[in-house]
Amino acid sequence: MLGGFVRQVAAMAAGWLVSKGLLESDDTGKAVEIITGIAVGGGAIIWSLMHKKKEADKTERKDLVLGVLAQGLETSREVIKSLPSGGKTEVAFVEKLKEQQTDAGVRADVREIVKSDVVSTPQAKAAAVQVVKEAKAA
């Protein structure tokens, strides 16, 4: 259906070229083929570029979300550490997270995110202090 539409538009374009004296009527068939090829090829290129951009945007968004989640977990660890039995609780919490990551088959991926510049322990500590302060004030 789309191919027929493209050929029809190409035929109209070839007809226009003939009417303007830019193309001999004997060459109309060949012009239709060329115009169709250009239209299909150009359309495919445009679609491909748009699709790649969309995928890049999705990847960038996923990376951002993963970073925010990782930072949130780091902040959670710091909040847990501030509790009376925080050291033991934090160790148990981390072990449970590792177990879940291993079960899901993503342990190495998570380790890479945590080691990257995305996670900041100093920022997590500062956020944890603020969370504890707000919780005590509430």
Q: Where are the chain's structural domains?
A: 2-137
pLDDT tens-digit readout, 96-132: 888 998 999 988 888 888 787 778 888 888 888 888 8
Cβ-Cβ contacts under 8 Å for 101 (sequence gap 6 or more): 107, 110
pTM of this prediction?
Answer: 0.58
Rounded distance between C-alpha atoms, residue 136 and residue 68, angstroms:
25
Residue that is written with structure tokens 């710091």 in the block: 78
User: Which pLDDT belongs to residue 10?
Assistant: 65
Q: In the chain, how long is the greatest CA-to-CA distance?
A: 91
